[in-house]
Amino acid sequence: MTGLLHSLWILIFVTTCALAIDCNGDFTITKESDAKDLRENCKIIGGNLIFGGNISENINLDGVEEVQGSWRHHRPSDSSGKVDRLFNISSSTLKLVDGVFDLWGPIGLERLILPNVGNISESVSFDDMTNLTHVDFTNLKYFRSLDLETPKLQEFKIDELKGFTRNYTGRIFISDGGSVESLDGLFKGPIAPANEDALPTITIQNIPHVKQLTLGWKSILKAKISGQLWYQHWSPPPNITLILGGPDSETVQIHELETREGIIGIERGSKTSNLSIGSFMSMNDMITDLRLPFHQVSEVRIRGDRMTSLELPKEAEQWNNVSISIWLVRSLRLDSSVNAEGRQTWYWPNQTMSSFYILGDVSTNFL
């Protein structure tokens, strides 16, 4: 009897060891039972977390706190792009992904709910995520860069980005923001660059449902903002007001600022006392009224076929060695520096101008 019990104990021990999860290595999830095994055994995953196969059920990772490798979710190599069932991935406990966060579709992921992840050490990519509607990164404060291609996205929830990990330059590229109505959590904070010789960049191409976009970063190498893609002129243009300066931004410096279709106005943040632009270019045939709110600017280039009003602020008197070029503005007539209500709308620089070129309807009274 004793020998039988001993043999039974050995069998149970061997079986338990065979089923044990290695929390220090990579882990692949293809179904909810895989996630159950993981969340019940591992707070910290020492390797990569990989989502594989054709997942067709919701994945809950409550209990997992860290992924010390990368988070990867790619479509199957034999995928035709057809998705049988949509699913969600969630974790209320995850705080850190110490690698890349890479989602590549099309896959059936509809909602990604990770409200307490605070740091993703490398790049964050949502590539061809055609079914994704909601992302909850409420407490995400740091990442290296962000790429967003999400044509059905309805919400990208993030309180306020604070900076970029490991002194990386930083970059955000949004090629399709779906129907998201706000992205201010990404851009409003007064993020300071880790290295003045390697400044962050912003490119936004398609955010048709955003009404106001706030840029509060302290120093930006290049920001290129367009509400819609250039070939979408057949659809109604967005109406985006660009606010330069967030609620806590005293200084904003942008070396190159380019605005295109969908931007209907540019304003200076209420707390921003130093707004400095190197080169400003507006290539926007939809805008009708444009006021330049810059404290300093070195180069201004404007094209706008429907523009009827262009204002230079009183701060323009202090623009030093500025170059101004205005062309293809067939609806704009510059005949006075004062509008019909008696308000001065054009202030000439008192400092030396590098050049002034205008191809349009200008009266001698204006000059």
Name the amino acid, one letter, at 8: L
* Beta-bridge partners for 72: 50, 102
Cα 93 to its chain centre, rounded Å, is 24
To which residue do tokens 């044990």 refer?
Answer: 20
Taking the CB of residue 68, how many other CB atoms lie within 10 A of it?
17
Taking the CB of residue 94, how many other CB atoms lie within 10 A of it?
23
Cα 52 to its chain centre, rounded Å, is 27
Q: What is the mean pLDDT of the chain?
A: 90
pLDDT tens-digit readout, 317-362: 999 999 999 999 989 988 888 888 889 999 999 989 999 999 888 8
pLDDT tens-digit readout, 258-301: 999 999 999 999 999 999 999 999 999 889 999 999 999 999 99
Check residue 362 and give its pLDDT: 85
pTM value?
Answer: 0.91
Query: Which bin fits 166, alpha (ψ -120 to 50), beta or left (φ > 0)?
Result: left
Measured CA to CA, the distance from residue 267 to residue 243 in angstroms comes to 5
pLDDT tens-digit readout, 177-186: 999 999 999 9
Check residue 230 and give its pLDDT: 58
- Sign (positive/negative) of CA torsion 236, 171, 280, 290? positive
Whether the predicted pLDDT of 313 surpasses 80: yes
Measured CA to CA, the distance from residue 129 to residue 151 in angstroms comes to 7
Measured CA to CA, the distance from residue 292 to residue 226 in angstroms comes to 17
